[in-house]
Amino acid sequence: MSGSSLHAAIADAAARFGFSPTARLDAELLMAHALGIDRNALLLDIQRPVPPGFAALVERRAAHEPVAYITGTRGFWTIDLAVGPGALVPRPDSETLLVAGIAHFAGRAPATILDLGTGPGTLLLAALDEWPARGLGIDRSEQALGYARTNAAALGMAPRASFVRGDWAAAIDARFDLVLANPPYIGTAEALPDEVRRHEPASALFAGRDGLDDYRSLAPQLAGLIAPGGCAAVEIGHTQADAVAAVFAAAGLASVVHCDLGGRDRCLLATPVEAHAPQG
């Protein structure tokens, strides 16, 4: 790695990360991690020597390992989450579900929240940071739930957040004001970046050939999970709105599309059809 300054080391690292759309940011995050400081502190004080551990971090990223796995943490909404192998890396697009939930409740707060496929607790813990609610996270992966419990404890939310291993809502007999879900929605033949396909858990990514298998499983369960006045916010692939809305409609759910910050379809906000029926 040429040069001994942080500037040169970061530039050299970014040049090796050409596969990443955020190459410079990746290099800065790795440098901050190697120094044991946050990125803002790094940008304010760039005169330090390059730490000896930085080169090894660069090699890991150059092998397409996700930055979040290397640093062990990822920011999401208003919180920081511990993540690693076996847990889906939180993505900014998923924040659309929280924005949709805030719009639905319009100043009031949901009292109970269910997160189906919670992973490292991403959506549930972000929602509990937004509202003074209680919540339940469900996931098939005990490894992912380990991260979720660690994150709840670190954020001081353990008294309000419970986590249970399960297959969607199969074992749940309760209704919730807000149901959150980011199910797998990638078709098995779809191309993915190496850092996703090779490192993140396939069970959290792929959902059959058309990417809709988990929506088909989830849809029949949703209507019975939503409390009166509540809703379900479900993440979708940006080309899937019509297909998933049709699956939901067949299960008695009306849905409205919400777009992410890039203007792409990203969330269906679903409510039981009977909630829209005229009152006699």
Mean pLDDT of the chain: 94
CB 96 within 8 A of CB 267: yes
Residue 16 identity (one-letter amino acid): R
| Distance in angstroms (rounded) separating the CA atoms of residues 215 and 250 | 12
Band the pLDDT of 276: cuts 50, 70, 90: low
| Distance in angstroms (rounded) separating the CA atoms of residues 55 and 2 | 11
CATH topology of domain 6-63: Helicase, Ruva Protein; domain 3 (1.10.8)
91: exposed, middle or buried (C-beta count within 10 Å: 0-12, 13-18, 19+)?
middle
Band the pLDDT of 275: cuts 50, 70, 90: low
Q: Is 270 helix (H, G, I), strand (E, B) or coil?
A: strand
Report whether pLDDT(277) > 90. no
Band the pLDDT of 45: cuts 50, 70, 90: confident
Report whether pLDDT(280) > 60. no
In this prediction, what percent of the chain has a pLDDT beyond 70?
96
| Distance in angstroms (rounded) separating the CA atoms of residues 88 and 185 | 13
Report whether pLDDT(278) > 60. no
Torsion sign (Cα): 185, 186, 189, 190:
positive
Which residues fall within 8 angstroms of residue 233, CB to CB, at 6 or more apart?
A: 97, 98, 100, 101, 104, 178, 179, 180, 181, 258, 267, 268, 269, 270
Helix axis angle, 54-62 to 23-35, nearest 10°:
150
Report whether pLDDT(197) > 70. yes
| Distance in angstroms (rounded) separating the CA atoms of residues 141 and 54 | 32
> In terms of Cα–Cα distance, which of 207, 204, 206 is closest to 148?
204
The answer to whether 6-63 and 73-276 have equal CATH topology is no
Domain boundaries, the chain: 6-63, 73-276
> In terms of Cα–Cα distance, which of 101, 102, 143, 106 is closest to 121?
143
Q: Which CATH number fits domain 73-276: 3.40.50.150, 3.40.50.620, 3.30.70.20, 3.30.1330.30?
A: 3.40.50.150
> In terms of Cα–Cα distance, which of 139, 195, 194, 145 is closest to 167?
139
pLDDT, position 20: 97
At 48-107, the pLDDT tens digits run: 899 999 999 999 999 999 999 999 999 999 999 999 999 999 999 999 999 999 999 998
Q: Is 93 helix (H, G, I), strand (E, B) or coil?
A: helix
What DSSP string describes 110-177? -SEEEEET-TTTHHHHHHHHHSS-EEEEEES-HHHHHHHHHHHHHTT-TTTEEEEE-STTTT----EE
124: exposed, middle or buried (C-beta count within 10 Å: 0-12, 13-18, 19+)?
buried
